[in-house]
Amino acid sequence: MSARWGQLVPYALRQWPRIGALLGLAVLSLAVEVLLPWPIKLAIDNALAGAPLPSAAEWLQQLAGARHAAGLIAWLALAVLLIFLAGQLLQLARGLLEAKLTTTLRITLGAAMFDRLHELALPYHRRASRGDVVRRLTTDTD
């Protein structure tokens, strides 16, 4: 079974930039997902409770209107919205890139199988039923 997977490696290696970009987008999406609860935590623990902001987040008080709780909550709500939108854009980009990659791999593999069928000797084609060859060509590349 591993020998068959080994035959697919050259097709995947040709697409290494897209595969690398897909992995990069996955890591970036994970980072954005990790950031999403941060503004909510600050809004609940600091803005609503009246506690001072942590030293790493003191720069938020420099924003317009953020000295008051309502202004800080508005900025943090905007941050949640922007982080959510960034996550959705990354997910869209990942989906589009994944669709392009899988389509390219499917077409390339199908073309290679078609070329291989043309290389086979005529006795093979006489023995194999036409429906079986067509079915294998169309379904085995999905």
Digit-coded pLDDT (tens) for 70-109: 888 999 999 999 999 999 999 999 999 999 999 998 888 8
Straight-line distance from the first to the last Cα atom of the chain, in angstroms, rounded to the nearest whole number: 18
Dump pLDDT digits (tens) for 19-67. Answer: 999 999 999 999 999 999 999 999 998 888 888 888 888 888 888 887 8
pLDDT at 2 > cutoff 70: no
Q: Is pTM beyond 0.75 here?
A: no
Buried b or exposed e, range 81-94, using 16+ CB within 10 angstroms: eebeebbeebeeeb
Q: Which residue has the higher pLDDT, 104 or 122?
A: 104
- Amino acid 89: pLDDT: 97
Q: Are 78 and 99 in contact (CB under 8 A)?
A: no
DSSP-based three-state secondary structure for 68: coil
Highest mean pLDDT among 3-12, 62-71, 76-85, 112-121: 76-85
Q: What is the mean pLDDT of residues 116-137?
A: 74
pLDDT tier for residue 141 given thresholds of 50, 70 and 90: low
Let me know: does 60 contact 66? Beta carbons within 8 Å: yes
Predicted local distance difference test score (pLDDT) of residue 55: 86
Q: Which of 87, 89, 97 is nearest to 29 (CA)?
A: 87
